[in-house]
Amino acid sequence: MTATLCALALLPALALAQATQQPPKEEGEFRAPDLVEIVKLDKSIRLQIRYATSNNFVGRPVYKEARAFLQRPAAEALVSAHRALKKHGYGLLVFDGYRPWRVTKLFWEITPEDRKQFVADPSKGSRHNRGCAVDLTLYDLRTKREVEMPSGYDDFTERAHVNYAGGTGEQRRLRDLLRSAMEATGFKVYEPEWWHYDYKDWRQYPIQDVPFEEIKPTRPAKNRPAL
C-alpha cells in the first residue's frame, strides 16, 4: 500500500457511517437476486477474504465476516472454472465476491483521484454490488499455496494489468491460465486488474447493499442440473 493510502486508512472514519446514504436508483427490470455462498457449492474453492482483515489497501477490516457470495449462475460458472483448473494442478483462491454498495462508497471516498480507475464509482454502482464480479487467483493443489502472479492483489500499478509483460514467464503463464479458465465459463477480465472478473449477465441484476449476515440462503431451482 502506498504512503498516501496508508495515511488515508488511518483517518478515523469516512467509515461505513457514510453508508447510510442509499445506492443509486435504477430503471428497468432485473432478475431476482439469488446470492449463494461460493464454498457451499464446492468446498475445495479456497477463500482469503482480505477485506475482513487489515491486509488490504484500506488498512483495516471493512467486512464483519470472511465470506464470499455470487449470484447463483455466476457461482456455478466459477465452480466449473475451478474444476477445469484441477486438471492443470490448480484451484481457485477467492479474495472477494459480492460487495455491499456501502463498501464501494468507502473505497471511492478514500482513493486518490489518480487511482480512481481501480475502484468503482458508487453513483453508478459496481459489478461486485450486483453479485457478478469476483476477485481471485490460483493456488497449487499439491502445496495448497497461493501462486505468484506478476503483481499482488490490489496492486495499483501497471504490474496489475492483464497484459503486463514484466514479471517471470511462470507468473505470466499462471495469469493467462486463470484468464483462459474464467473466460471459458462466461467471465471477462477487467484489464487493469488481472484478478478481477465480471460475469456475462451482470447487467441483469440490481445493485445491492445487503450485509453478509443478512443474506438469506435459497434453494436451487428443481430443474437446474447438479454440477
Q: Is the dihedral of CA 90, 95, 99, 104 positive or negative?
A: negative
* Sequence-separated contacts (24+) of 145-152 with Cβ below 8 Å: 146/48, 146/93, 147/90, 147/174, 148/174, 149/174, 149/175, 149/194, 149/195, 150/175, 150/194, 151/194
Choose, from 26, 193, 213, 214, the residue flagged as catalytic. Answer: 193
Best CA proximity match to 203, nearest among 65, 46, 39, 30: 30
55, three cell numbers: 491486509
193 is catalytic: yes
As annotated, the active-site residues are 193
